[in-house]
Amino acid sequence: MKDLNNKVVVITGAGSGIGRSLATACAKRGAHLALCDVNTTALEQTRSECGQARVLTATVDVSDRSAVEAFRDEVVNTYGRVDLVVNNAGVAHSQTIENTTYEDFEWIMGINFWGVVHGTKAFLPELKKHKGSALVNVSSVFGLISVPTQGTYNATKFAVRGFTEALRHETADSGLHVMCVHPGGIKTGIAHAARFYVGPDGNNDQSKVAGDFVNKLARTTPDQAARKILDDLAKGKGRCLIGIDAQVISAISRLIPVNYWRVMGRLMPG
């Protein structure tokens, strides 16, 4: 999808980070926006940064299927069509699998995986009505490799990757373009809003773990990430790797598919 002018773009998790940057970038390219987030205040801030673009906003918990479907109905009733959907909403969690509660498993799966499923299933029939439409699901570099204390997050992001790649094969001849995004470290608030209990080095100071993540691993800004997503979408790519770190991690996972942690462990905050 090269031209966003007058296209209807749906973005989940648009209240901050990559979602907000995508919204403002699409607005500058002439798109009509349908934005949702669980944080109403943050969502309204995003709306204010979209200039003169036409913007529909809704407070939506993407883990709630009926809420996502109601949002879909509002988008279609408002604009009459959907051209691009970006399932971006996500949260983070850091704890060993042994010590993770079932409630935390359900919380992160509900948002990171089921949120993508809900967004995809709700909007897919609308997207398939128009050739040249696109669906973008945001995974992570942690959908390429697994990291100690990130088992729940890894599970959700590997699931998003598998789900999206299967859908890409299924829709190959439909005129719908499907892309999976794997950001490396992005300077967003996801780490500070996460459920952090322990870091890869065993540290259980939540503020320190989150700070280490942002300071040592986050090398790319949300605006840079948004530009890369839209550029790769325009090129028709099926996989979008964001940041040098994502490219390195992807290469390491292919070269050392079993023992990559021997290398990656040295790159993590310590």
More confident residue, 267 or 232: 232
Q: Is the pLDDT of residue 209 over 70?
A: no
How does residue 155 score in pLDDT terms, banded at 50, 70 and 90? very high
Question: Residues near 210 by Cβ (< 8 Å), separated by ≥ 6?
Answer: 191, 192, 194, 196
How does residue 199 score in pLDDT terms, banded at 50, 70 and 90? low
- Closest to 217 in 3D by CA, of 246, 237, 260, 250: 246
CA–CA distance, 153 with 224 (Å, rounded to integer): 23
User: Which residue(s) pair with 87 in the sheet?
Assistant: 137
Of 41-55, 194-208, 221-235, the range with the lowest mean pLDDT is 194-208
CA–CA distance, 135 with 227 (Å, rounded to integer): 16
Which tens digit of pLDDT belongs to each residue from 224-251?
999 999 999 999 999 999 988 888 888 9
Q: Is the pLDDT of residue 263 over 90?
A: no
Structure tokens at 228: 């890369």
CA–CA distance, 263 with 249 (Å, rounded to integer): 10
Catalytic residue (one of 102, 153, 197, 260): 153
Fill in the DSSP letter of residue 220: B
Q: Is the pLDDT of residue 207 over 80?
A: no
How does residue 204 score in pLDDT terms, banded at 50, 70 and 90? low
> Residues of the chain with pLDDT > 90: what percent?
74
| C-beta separation of 92 from 191 below 8 A | yes
**How much is the average pLDDT of 117-144?**
96
> Can you give the pLDDT at residue 206?
47
CA–CA distance, 236 with 204 (Å, rounded to integer): 42
Of 70-84, 161-175, 190-204, the range with the lowest mean pLDDT is 190-204
The residue assigned the tokens 């997050």 is 153
Question: Residues near 168 by Cβ (< 8 Å), separated by ≥ 6?
Answer: 178, 179, 180, 238
Q: pTM for the whole thing? A: 0.89
Full set of structural domains in the chain with CATH: 8-264 (3.40.50.720)
Average pLDDT, the chain: 89
User: Which residue(s) pair with 195 in the sheet?
Assistant: 93
From residue 181, give the alpha-carbon distance in Å to each of 40, 49, 144. Answer: 25, 24, 11
Which tens digit of pLDDT belongs to each residue from 57-96?
999 999 999 999 999 999 999 999 999 999 999 999 999 9
Question: DSSP assignment of 158-193, as one string?
Answer: HHHHHHHHHHHHHTTTTT-EEEEEEE-SB-SSTTTT
How does residue 268 score in pLDDT terms, banded at 50, 70 and 90? low
> Can you give the pLDDT at residue 245?
86
**How much is the average pLDDT of 87-116?**
96
Q: Is the pLDDT of residue 214 over 60?
A: no
Residue 153 is a catalytic residue: yes
